[in-house]
Amino acid sequence: MERAIVHMDLDTFFVSCERLKNSELEKKPVIIGGGDRGVVASCSYETRFFGVRSAMPIKMALRLCPEAKVIKGDMEMYSNMSHMVTEIIQEKVPVVEKASIDEFYLDLSGMDKFFGCYKWTYEIAESVQKNTGLPISFALSANKTVSKIGTGESKPTGRLEVKQSDIQPFLNPLSVKKIPMVGDVTFQLLSRLGIRTIQTLSEMPVDVLGQLIGKNGNELWKKAHGIDETPVVPYSERKSISTEDTFAQDTIDIQGIKSILSGMVEKLCYQLRAEKWLVSVVVVKLRYSNFDTETKQCRIPYTSADHTLLRYVLELFKKVYTRRMRIRLVGVKFTGLVHGCHQMDLFEDTEELISLYQTMDKIKNRFGTSSVGRASGLLK
């Protein structure tokens, strides 16, 4: 059976949500992001015309497009709108994968026998737009890679089908940077070798690509040929992420406990960013030596930054530890998660902080989670 995989992407999602709140923003340059030292979380097509891009420093974006209106952003609203879109799609499709807050994969394989896959997808997109007011693009093809590239090429409000026989002609003239797994470093390497289009890349011997790029060479060669067997994984919302530590001996060493909490927060935050989650509720758990257990929680602006979450954790610990008794267990739990496309809270954090966390995460990815960390978490 020929696969039918759809990629759906909400066009400039954050900006579109803000335009639903304020119609005066229609067709005007809009930037979603933090203050002067923050970065661009999202931007309208009107600002992209001037060269503004996501993750660009706000100051640079305003130099390129001084007329742009900068809005801090409302992650809670975006999360609610994303849930609304998810529910609409899930009602109509047997297998849905939510890849991010504004991005979905649909597996419609076999449905062409009953109701043409393109027609089915078109009606889903129209239903999303009618019921939420949000513009959405899609591409239908034989696998995730081609459909995702197709969506990018068809935006805004794209409606595209790339049939099996058309895959290679569709891919060939495109830049190798259009392939999802090709980042800036790989693109620069390929460019220096004169490999700038997918056609040139597809003509490279697979073993030569392996020597140039390493273990990803074979996978890159497959994608250049429009081959991708990655399945659509059914979506399920993660509710929370947590950890706790039961001490070998009950303790009253508060400084040591704070150090343990710091280490817990750092490890959980690394996991949050790796899985692209943002947190809105922090919970601290404490168990005394007599087994009495208490918890405290608070709601916060969405974030996955260690320094922000650690501040709330320590404040909650101070509130929950009300007895002069030895402690048997401490724990931290993050709930109220949204699965977004940003690894950091781009509305609050500066360019320098985001770069710091990205660098630390890269080191941990390469050398292990214990390879680098906060000094405060190493004092236990």
> Residues 272-294: pLDDT tens digits?
888 878 888 999 999 999 999 99
| 375 has a pLDDT exceeding 70 | no
| 55 has a pLDDT exceeding 90 | no
Query: 234 or 8: whose pLDDT is higher?
Result: 8
Non-local (6+) Cβ contacts of 365 within 8 A are 274
| Mean pLDDT (the chain, rounded) | 87
Torsion of CA 86, 54, 179, 100, to 10 degrees: -20
The pLDDT of residue 152 is 94
| 379 has a pLDDT exceeding 60 | no
| 364 has a pLDDT exceeding 70 | no
Kindly state the greatest CA–CA separation across the chain. Answer: 73
pLDDT band at 122 (very low <50, low <70, confident <90, very high): very high
The pLDDT of residue 342 is 44
Torsion of CA 178, 179, 181, 187, to 10 degrees: -60
Q: What is the pLDDT of residues 281-338, one digit of tens each?
A: 999 999 999 999 999 999 987 788 888 899 999 999 999 999 989 999 999 999 988 7
75-92 vs 117-132: helix crossing angle, rounded to 10: 140
Owner of token pair 């939420």 = 132
Asked whether residue 9 is marked as a ligand-binding residue, the answer is yes
Give me the amino acid identity at 192.
R
Asked whether residue 250 is marked as a ligand-binding residue, the answer is no
* Contact indicator for 150, 141 with CB cutoff of 8 Å: yes
351-367 vs 254-275: helix crossing angle, rounded to 10: 90
The pLDDT of residue 99 is 85
For residues 69-86, average pLDDT: 88
Tokens representing 365 are 């990815």
- How many C-beta atoms surround the C-beta of residue 324 within 10 A? 6
Non-local (6+) Cβ contacts of 190 within 8 A are 176, 182, 196, 201
| 215 has a pLDDT exceeding 90 | no
Helix (H) or strand (E) holding 159: strand 159-161
* Contact indicator for 364, 58 with CB cutoff of 8 Å: no
Give me the amino acid identity at 176.
V
What radius of gyration do the chain's Cα atoms show? 23
For residues 108-122, average pLDDT: 84
Please pick, among 18, 46, 97, 103, the residue that the annotation labels catalytic.
Answer: 103
The pLDDT of residue 372 is 57
| 341 has a pLDDT exceeding 80 | no
| 155 has a pLDDT exceeding 60 | yes
Separation of alpha carbons 84 and 201, rounded Å: 40
For residues 208-227, average pLDDT: 89
- How many C-beta atoms surround the C-beta of residue 92 within 10 A? 14
Residue percentage of the chain with pLDDT more than 90: 61
| 351 has a pLDDT exceeding 60 | no
| 189 has a pLDDT exceeding 50 | yes
Q: Is 103 a catalytic residue?
A: yes
